[in-house]
A and B are shown apart, each in its own frame.
Chain A
Amino acid sequence: MTADKIIFLLCAVLILASALMVVTTRKLIHAALWLVAALFGVAILYAVLQASFLAVVQVVVYIGAIAILFIFAVMLTRREMLDKGVQTRSNWWLPALLGLLILAGLVFLILGQPAFGRTAAEMPAGVDTLRNLGTALVSPDAFVLPFEVASVLLLAALVGAVYIASGKKE
């Protein structure tokens, strides 16, 4: 058991436990906060995977924007909900069963591929991932198009959200 394995296991426990709390806790605001914890764990995992930029982006975007957005939404809709009663639907066992089956299936498939058992190779020397990422994002023969499209998507989402959420004056 090397150090990174222990770190990984701790991270995994964090992520999964938080995720479980997200989907089971009664109070919605708690769920949002547990989501923050889960996202944080994922960020740590990115860092372990030497995708440092992504770790930071994860914290900034997911936790800093998305999770906050969730909290805002929860606040805005709190009056009605008031977290009364059971928060899961009555037939929650079926999704649970489905989830378990899918998990089982996926695990079975993953473990069935011997190629997935390998360990990571060393990062080649002199590879500047950040620089490469930047270049890839703006290079015409790389991924500039998806990048630009993604920005258009964000613009559209922005406009749409504003429009929808503004609500028409009846």
Chain B
Amino acid sequence: MEKFIIWLLPLPPLLSFFVILLFTNKNKALSHSIAVGAAGLSWLGSMIIFIRALGVKEFGKHIFGSSINWLPTGSTWLRIGVQIDPFSAVVVFFVAWTVLAIFVYSIGYHNFGQPKGDHDVAGLPPHGATVTENGHKHTIPSIEPMYSRFFAFISLFAFGMYTLVVSDNLLTLFVGWEIMGLCSYLLIGFWFGKPSARNAAVKAFMTTRIGDVFMLLGIAFVYSFTGSLSFSEIFKPEMLHALASTPAFFGLSAAGIIGLLLFIGTVGKSAQWPLHVWLPDAMEGPTPVSAMIHAATMVSAGVYMVIRMFPLISAGWTEGMPLNTTMSVIAFIGAFTALFAATIAVAQNDIKRVLAYSTISQLGFMIAALGVGAYVAAAFHLVTHAFFKALLFLGSGSVIHGMEHGVLHTGEQVDAQDMFNMGGLRKKMPITFWTFLIGGFALSGFPVLTAGFWSKDEIFAEAFGNGHLAVFIILAVAAFLTAFYTMRQITLTFFGKPRTTAAEHANETTWTMTVPLIVLSIFAVGFGWVGIPEQFPGLGGLVPNWFHEFVGGTLAELPKAVEFSWVPLITSLCVALGGLFLGWLMYRKVKSPKQDFLQIPVLKNKWYFDEIYNFVFVKPAYWIAEKFTSLYMDQTVIDGFLHSVARFSLFLGHAFRNYFDKPVINEFIGDGTGNVVKVSGSGLRKIQAGRIQYYMVVSISVLVIFALLYYFMIGGR
């Protein structure tokens, strides 16, 4: 029964995609109903699976799985199938909730129910419609022209994510991975009329592609070494042992190389340094897209994959050992990215950009956790982050919506996304404010009450407890900055006085947008309590650390919980509370960017990485394409060669015509035979002189000659 449901989980969104695109594109209400209905069906299936999974004792050893023979390969079959083990059960839980919340949110975000805009075109964001009310004209937000298309795309997106989560083999995982890559391209460039959106879409696709190439190499390596792509095959102890002990390139074992290659895929997909450049630009898409792709699902897919491949990455490693090379690389990149992105986030003014860099930073946390071997902590933070980051993004969308309402109302041309144009929205948009606050606190790791605290604390504990002090310190600094910029964001947006008239006229948004916010905030608060460590002072032991037991059971051996130590706890409390307080302190009186001394150019400009990449990669690529390949190779060399071949053929043609065809064939043979006949004819015709005696002389001569010949040669006496 469960197997049946698991197979069907990705199906409703896929069907919704096709149905909306093919049939219901014109009917907006029908399209969103189909999409939300499909998301709801998948949600229902996911809940059933999750609850069933909870009921199985030692679920890690008795996972739900089902596979079929798919591709015949010589004497064996390549199998594909689905599985739900403890880790993916939890993941499918949060995916279902966040997807459903975002789908419902999108209805309100794209202004369903509002009139069509005055001069809205498909491909550009809607600009508002003028209505007359009580003889008083004002502009109100208008409905998105490409409404149904949006729901089709996010349905396809949901299909990709579900496929990735339920697969039991690297192949279908990669399929889901790539479908999500495609959808991120389609959705970032949703408003294709904007050049910035188009460029951002291409940038996202290209950057993740780089990661995907290496990931594909890793998958190929796995297949060639093990002969299978199924997780159950790869993660068998004998197989892992073989992988760990076979040396491969660069001094690494086969497991190490594969882990590294697959990790590079995650670096691209989860926007870690150095492939982080696409995620901030991806904010060009509509906010539900940002929430879905870049908070809840797609970037989490990168972390999901690397968590899934943890047995491979950590093959040969056990707790207490120094990290192997792959894990060191992973830990380094994760920690570095966490700090790096946090430093940029403090200088951003766009509300969504702050969240984008925050996502990069938090993903760095998860990856660093995995790098030091804290499997359960990484998974925990993945789940909690999904909830509160989706909440924050949707909340920011709500803020922007409110600001746009104000913009349209007042006619003031301000950027609705710039935090320095906001202020005092606490009073205007209360639900948004409170939910955003909860999300922000969760992100910062506000103690006890928020889920973020528990998951971040666990990461700190693992890092410190296993002696990875460098990672611990870097992550602590990043956590401080996280709290700081989060509070900066909240203060600038919600506290104080409105800085523009548009902000004064902001409104709370509709229920389709606020209800998902409320739902997600419940999770952002409550989900942390399923993972309270046993040895936590006071609260520990009251509630069993269900998360650790459940998810930890995914691995072959249950990882043991780290020893409790006060240092990480105190550190996390200090950084969280200190950062929050400092942020509030510094920004509550700030009215304009000039008063913000953190607007350092280097930080504002993202450490100039975009410019560096442009110089090092993009410009040379263009040069190669335009000058080298097109001009030199194609036009000069290849076309030149072809032209000279053509010239040569032409020359041959002419030569044949003029030197062979005309003189020999035409004149010599053609006219020649004619001439021969003519000359011989005119010569021979003189025989017919018309004179009798001449004829007779000739005939008698011939007769005599023949007679003589006859006599002398044949006859004769």
Contacts and interface: CB of A to CB of B under 8 A. Distances in A.
- Per the CB under 8 Å rule, do A and B touch in the complex? yes
B717 A102 contact: no
B693 interface: yes
Interface stretch (A5-13, A61-69, A93-101, A162-170): A93-101
B709 interface: no
A101 B704 contact: yes
Given A89-B693, A112-B717, A94 B701 contact: yes
Contact of B700 (A89, A91, A98): A98
Interface in B691-708: 693, 697, 700-701, 704, 707-708
A98 B717 contact: no
Contacts of A98: 697, 700-701, 704
Interface in A64-122: 89, 91, 94-95, 98, 101-102, 105, 112
Interface of B: 693, 697, 700-701, 704, 707-708, 717
Interface size range on A against B: under 10
B625 to A, nearest CB: 94
A153 B570 CA distance: 158
Contacts of A102: 700, 704
A56 to B, nearest CB: 33
Contacts of A105: 704, 707-708
Given A95-B697, A102-B700, A105-B707, 14 more contacts: A89-B693, A91-B697, A94-B697, A94-B701, A98-B697, A98-B700, A98-B701, A98-B704, A101-B704, A101-B708, A102-B704, A105-B704, A105-B708, A112-B717
6 contacts: A89-B693, A94-B701, A98-B701, A98-B704, A105-B707, A105-B708
Contacts of A89: 693
Contacts of A91: 697
Contacts of B717: 112
CB-based closest 10 A-B pairs = A101-B704, A98-B700, A94-B697, A98-B704, A98-B701, A105-B707, A95-B697, A112-B717, A102-B704, A89-B693
A148 B693 CA distance: 33
B408 to A, nearest CB: 122
A101 B705 CA distance: 10
Interface of A: 89, 91, 94-95, 98, 101-102, 105, 112
Contacts of A95: 697
A79 to B, nearest CB: 23
B180 to A, nearest CB: 113
A96 to B, nearest CB: 11
A107 B704 CA distance: 14
A98 B717 CA distance: 22
A105 B709 CA distance: 12
A92 to B, nearest CB: 10
A95 B697 CA distance: 7
Contacts of A112: 717
Contacts of A94: 697, 701
B710 to A, nearest CB: 11
A128 to B, nearest CB: 42
A98 B697 CA distance: 8
A125 B697 CA distance: 48
Contacts of B697: 91, 94-95, 98
Contacts of B707: 105
Nearest to B711: A105
Nearest to A108: B711
A91 B696 CA distance: 13
Contacts of A101: 704, 708
A101 B717 CA distance: 18
A105 B712 CA distance: 12
B704 to A, nearest CB: 5
A35 to B, nearest CB: 19
A95 to B, nearest CB: 6
Nearest to B717: A112
Nearest to B693: A89
A37 B209 CA distance: 131
Nearest to B701: A98
Contacts of B700: 98, 102
A59 to B, nearest CB: 30
Nearest to A100: B704
Contacts of B701: 94, 98
A86 B707 CA distance: 32
B553 to A, nearest CB: 133
A147 B693 CA distance: 32
Contacts of B693: 89
A101 B708 CA distance: 9
A89 B701 CA distance: 17
A98 B708 CA distance: 12
A91 B697 CA distance: 10
Contacts of B708: 101, 105
A62 B217 CA distance: 127
B236 to A, nearest CB: 120
A23 to B, nearest CB: 13
A52 B707 CA distance: 37
